[in-house]
Amino acid sequence: MRSIEEVRSLVGQKIELPSPPNIVMRILQAVQDDDSCFAGLAKIISADPSLTAKLLRVANSSIYGFGGRVKNIESALSILGINALKNIALSFIIVRKCQGASTSVFDFEYFWKRSVTAAVAAKMLASLRNYDSNDIFVSGLLQDIGVLVLFQHCPDSYREVLALKNSTETPGHIIERQFLGMCHAELGGALLQEWGLPESIYLPLFYHHRADCAPYHYRTGVELLNLADKISAIYHSSQSRNNVADIFQTLTSDYGLTEKEIKELIDTVATRANEVLSFFDMSGDEIRPLSEMLQDANQELGKLNCSYEQLVMDLKQAKEESSKYVGKLIDANKKYRELAYRDELTGLYNNRYFQELMEKELERSRRYEHALSLLFFDIDYFKEINDNFGHLAGDTVLRRVAEKIIQIMRGCDIVVRYGGDEFAVIMPETGREGLEVFAERIRRGIEEMIIPADQASLQVTVSVGGATFNSKNPQIDKRAMFSTADKAIYQAKGGGRNRIHIVEI
């Protein structure tokens, strides 16, 4: 398993992490200042009337049991403590930031209902194990925040993940690693670490699908999150029946609860989750306690007219047909996406993909203060090849040049057919020195090629222009990079062709 540092490095290559709300940074800074912690936190929270009202409602709820005695933020701090109030505030702020419009693919309301239920369950379980229930509530609430980031920043890939998860028995976190190299828990932990949340919150979250890899002193927290997630699934997943037996066994063997106590615990999770959901202003149907669900299920079972065996066969057939359909749909989506972003002649990425990716790479370069280079080059006297040997020969030259570039460049570089006989290469984390090395490799490698075309053997050269961005100038945008690299080509041509010209901006 990757460490959290390795995941953060991988995230930096693939995903632009969202920035934390400003008030989160101010709250975290306030609680680090021992001299003014109490007053500073009260001042920050009191400046947000909506947040203040929500915090007071929570403090007076059945979750804490103070029965209306908490009248203001100062008394909430005195009674609940700084850490508890900080965590409640962070929960409201982060949920507020991570809202969105539900679609046919992703339902934000369902997501947060399940998350809130898991957080409530985690807090209740933690009290049975004498574990810090304030931190575990936040971990439970945000344990799937990586799903939101993946959905917002890798929508095409994540739709395929969800489709496979819904049509197979494979857990989602395993499919995520296959598609993306990391799972949502690892991404969520890396995000909360970058936002500056304490280790006691983000590490149990980071490891909640790999409990055996967690540091020893956080394994209880990881186990609590896993069990809380299963309890939440009882109320929010169509496959919850698979978890019930595991939940009852764990609560009996590890927590020493009786069957009656377990049912009461799970019912109370629903009751308290409904209360907390009202604090987050989430509408919709209330969560029905497990006991009511079981009662209704028993009544429905008596109405069934078909045999158990027939139900099993129908279910099996439906799942098989669904899996085949989903597989075909994913393959078709991949094919159409490739067609949309690939040049038909050379197989390289096309201009459309290049324009989209260049924006992302520039933003990543600024964020992480890494260099970024861009190469433009075109084939010298390419029109004469078409005029003298025909367009089929010209197409052959373009394909062979594309193949040569792929051989020369690194796996992290993005090679593009820009248009006609023009090519481009985006080179992440590459400064002027590296750019000059690769530009010369391209120039020399293409010069040394012998390209068979009908009855002739052709040799071509290229003029190469490059622009290097050192991440320091915030005013440099995509257009400036393109313009600089394009002018560099003309300077290379003006110098006699078959040469390189590099400019640092």
Identify any residues that bridge with 422 across adjacent strands, giving them in sequence order.
Answer: 378, 419
Report yes or no on 342 lying in a domain: no
Strands 462-469 and 372-379: antiparallel
Residue entry with tokens 């539900």: 102
Q: Residues 75-117: pLDDT tens digits?
A: 887 777 878 888 888 888 888 878 777 776 678 888 889 999 9
Report yes or no on 339 lying in a domain: no
Q: How large is the average pLDDT for residues 28-41?
A: 69
Report yes or no on 338 lying in a domain: no
Instruction: Using CB atoms within 10 Å of the CB of residue 456, give its burial: 0 to 12 exposed, 13 to 18 middle, 19+ buried.
Output: exposed
Tell which wins on pLDDT, 106 or 235: 235
- pLDDT surpassing 70 at residue 309: no
Q: Residues 253-266: pLDDT tens digits?
A: 989 999 899 989 99
CB contact set of 88 (below 8 Å; sequence gap of 6+): 55, 58, 59, 80, 137
pLDDT at 447: 93
- pLDDT surpassing 80 at residue 16: no
pLDDT at 325: 55
Report yes or no on 312 lying in a domain: no
Q: Which domain holds residue 500?
A: 351-504
- pLDDT surpassing 50 at residue 501: yes
- pLDDT surpassing 50 at residue 43: yes
Q: Count how many Cα atoms sit within 13 Å of the Cα of residue 2 in the half-sphere of its side chain.
A: 18
- pLDDT surpassing 60 at residue 141: yes
- pLDDT surpassing 80 at residue 2: no
Tell which wins on pLDDT, 411 or 281: 411
Same structural domain for residues 263 and 378?
A: no
Same structural domain for residues 355 and 277?
A: no
Of all residues in the chain, what percent carry a pLDDT higher than 90? 25
Please give the model's pTM, rounded to 2 decimal places. Answer: 0.62
* Residue 390 tokens, joined: 């025909």
Q: How large is the average pLDDT for residues 219-248?
A: 84
Pick the closest to residue 438 from 453, 424, 456, 454 (CA basis): 424
Of all residues in the chain, what percent carry a pLDDT higher than 70? 86
* Helix/strand/coil for 425: strand
User: Of 288-292, 315-319, 338-342, which range is least confident?
Assistant: 315-319
* Residue 198 tokens, joined: 């304490």
321 — pLDDT class (breaks 50, 70, 90)? low
Q: How large is the average pLDDT for residues 338-360?
A: 83
pLDDT at 306: 47
Same structural domain for residues 261 and 400?
A: no
User: Of 74-78, 202-206, 244-248, 442-446, which range is least confident?
Assistant: 74-78
Q: Residues 162-178: pLDDT tens digits?
A: 777 776 767 888 888 87
Same structural domain for residues 160 and 231?
A: yes
Distance CA 367, CA 384 (A): 45
Report yes or no on 178 lying in a domain: yes
57 close to 67: Cβ distance less than 8 angstroms = no
Distance CA 504, CA 239 (A): 57
User: Of 42-46, 67-71, 328-332, 379-383, which range is least confident?
Assistant: 328-332
User: Of 207-216, 303-312, 479-488, which range is least confident?
Assistant: 303-312
Report yes or no on 492 lying in a domain: yes
Assign residue 492 the CATH number of its domain: 3.30.70.270
Same structural domain for residues 255 and 184?
A: yes
Q: How large is the average pLDDT for residues 122-126?
A: 92
User: Of 60-74, 111-125, 200-214, which range is least confident?
Assistant: 60-74
194 close to 17: Cβ distance less than 8 angstroms = yes
Assign residue 259 the CATH number of its domain: 1.10.3210.10
- pLDDT surpassing 70 at residue 34: no
Report yes or no on 326 lying in a domain: no
Same structural domain for residues 242 and 369?
A: no
Q: How large is the average pLDDT for residues 244-273?
A: 90
Distance CA 402, CA 346 (A): 6
pLDDT at 108: 84
Same structural domain for residues 186 and 53?
A: yes
Residue entry with tokens 């109320």: 235
Overall domain count for the chain = 2
pLDDT at 441: 92
Strands 462-469 and 500-504: parallel
Same structural domain for residues 261 and 137?
A: yes
User: Of 72-76, 112-116, 396-400, which range is least confident?
Assistant: 72-76
Same structural domain for residues 266 and 396?
A: no
* Residue 366 tokens, joined: 């600024």
pLDDT at 30: 74
Q: How large is the average pLDDT for residues 325-350?
A: 69
> 282: phi > 0 → left, psi -120 to 50 → alpha, else beta; which?
beta
Same structural domain for residues 236 and 131?
A: yes
Q: How large is the average pLDDT for residues 297-325?
A: 56
User: Of 25-34, 94-103, 121-130, 309-318, which range is least confident?
Assistant: 309-318
243 — pLDDT class (breaks 50, 70, 90)? confident
User: Of 139-143, 181-185, 452-456, which range is least confident?
Assistant: 452-456
197 — pLDDT class (breaks 50, 70, 90)? confident
Same structural domain for residues 45 and 170?
A: yes
Report yes or no on 62 lying in a domain: yes
Strand boundaries in 337-385, DSSP class E: 372-379
Q: Residues 439-492: pLDDT tens digits?
A: 999 999 999 999 987 778 899 999 999 999 887 777 788 888 889 999 999 999
pLDDT at 311: 54
Same structural domain for residues 272 and 369?
A: no
